[in-house]
Chains A and B, each alone.
Chain A
């Protein structure tokens, strides 16, 4: 009798445990790529990169996105507040360069943004590479801005960083996005001045200072 009761109790317990153990998971998260590299490393080429010493750029300005994040909208607001009023086209191509003297690149990938534009990362890279090459050919001043910090690093955004720096004449980056020194390295490789600022709100001043 006792044995049976114990066995029944044991079985009941096992049932409870097995129920509890099948775990949640009604809405598993999109466990995509881990963001941002660990923060530890020293900005590698950091020492060699200098800030901008005098104004280099002129209006008219064409502002475009590199990666279709809404950071391009933020840059537009900043430039408007700084009295720089750029022509903004987040999908600009060579044909849109017109008589622009400066091309401003707002770097940052966004899968939502690429989705909104109906293109993929490779199509975006292709557009940007052609646009930058054309601007460089025509002698425009190219300014690369990475304002999104850590939120605009990681697999998708990182694709867009190097191509933007390659032919740039100047770069401004928010420090959080350059913890691993990626952008300092790229600026030093490209031999261009770069200013690192603490927050997005601090981008306006050096950006204004870059214009004659």
Chain B
């Protein structure tokens, strides 16, 4: 056979196999992680049950309903608003897999911006997945992007105008669900997703809503709770208990002039009391070193240790990093204290649940060698 044909065939085969492998990978990241709801989950719904327009799109997402035996208040936990902030996603999953509601009803959406889990931010070197050893064996979880997938919503405008307020932001923020609240039934896919969340809140009469986030260690609002003015009293009482428990956190009022965020718009447009929490995630920071699944789970990063010494950070940072147990523990303890403060202020509609680890159990009392996933895995099925 002609030598050139052989060379060409080899090249063609190589190209096809590269396309095949990457294509398969590209399609696989669209599959949502398999969650393993515990006995506390009494019903599974979809966001599209509250706004049918998003059915069959990547904006649709599973809503886990956990109803207590006794009636009470209604609480919503939003995980995965930003798919590159794993502590919020994993705290929501831990709730679904280990929590048991006694009084009231808890709704949990682990992937609030579901589309954001179907891709990564380009050129960030983010891992596609990280793996946690759980009771049921090793499990993979997606590390996604802050924004919805451009394949689901394209093109971005040059300037994103927030519909309800006229606020102008950079075009890419049009795919950031936490800039689109209260949403629009006839808007972009992301606006429809936030509209569906709002419909859920209205339909179910959700009293208290948590939106779980992480931020880079050099971002000023970190290890913080941001509260709408209607939720400030609950927040300050809950925060007092968090302080007593040795969790350093700061409380921030929701700015009235910053639009599209849960802690502003859900308070303004619905009857729910919204709170947003932030923990420290090195893997989304600008000053980070090597970016991989280890960094996601341990937060150990020598560049951040150095940055801390130079005074660039808003959180303490040393060689022990900020393991996922500390970050998930902060979220879970926060939800616990704030919901307790809510129940104290609204005794006619209490929200009581158990089964979840405290900050102490998940982080402080853990064997240091098990931090970085193994300890958290004990609460995942």
Contact = CB atoms under 8 A, between A and B. Distances in A.
A70 B218 contact: no
Interface in A144-175: 148-149, 151-152
A152 B250 contact: yes
A133 interface: no
Nearest to A115: B255
B317 to A, nearest CB: 12
| Interface size range of chain A in the complex | 35 or more
Contact of A115 (B258, B310, B312): B258
A70 B258 contact: no
Contacts of A38: 311
A23 B248 CA distance: 34
Contact of B123 (A24, A28, A149, A200): A24
Q: Which of A36, A116, A152 has the most CB of B within 10 A?
A: A116
Given A76-B236, A118-B257, A70 B122 contact: no
B264 to A, nearest CB: 9
Contact of B251 (A36, A74, A201): A74
A110 B252 contact: yes
A184 B256 CA distance: 35
Nearest to B255: A115
Contact of A74 (B122, B125, B236, B256): B236
A113 B258 CA distance: 11
Interface string A110-145: 111101101000000000000000000000000000
B101 interface: no
Interface stretch (B20-28, B227-235, B319-327): B227-235
Interface in A48-80: 68-71, 73-74, 76-78
A113 B352 CA distance: 31
A7 to B, nearest CB: 17
Interface in B92-119: none
B292 interface: no
Contact of B253 (A24, A25, A37, A70): A70
Given A30-B220, A112-B221, A112-B254, A78 B235 contact: no
Contacts of A41: none
Interface in A1-60: 20, 22-32, 34-38
B254 A116 contact: yes
A118 B232 CA distance: 17
Interface string A95-121: 000000000000000111101101000
A27 B254 contact: no
A81 B124 contact: no
A66 B312 CA distance: 25
B343 interface: no
A89 interface: no
Contact of B227 (A28, A68, A70, A149): A70
A81 B248 contact: no
Contacts of A111: 220, 255
B121 interface: yes
Contacts of A31: 218, 286
Contacts of B243: 74, 199-201
A110 B146 CA distance: 25
A70 B286 contact: no
Interface string B124-149: 11000000000000000000001000
B286 A28 contact: yes
Given A34-B310, A68-B253, A152-B250, 5 more contacts: A37-B311, A74-B251, A110-B252, A116-B253, A201-B244
Interface of B: 121-125, 146, 172, 216, 218-221, 223-224, 226-227, 229, 232-233, 235-237, 239-240, 243-244, 246, 248, 250-258, 285-286, 310-314
11 contacts: A24-B122, A24-B125, A29-B216, A29-B285, A73-B235, A73-B236, A112-B226, A115-B257, A116-B254, A151-B224, A200-B248
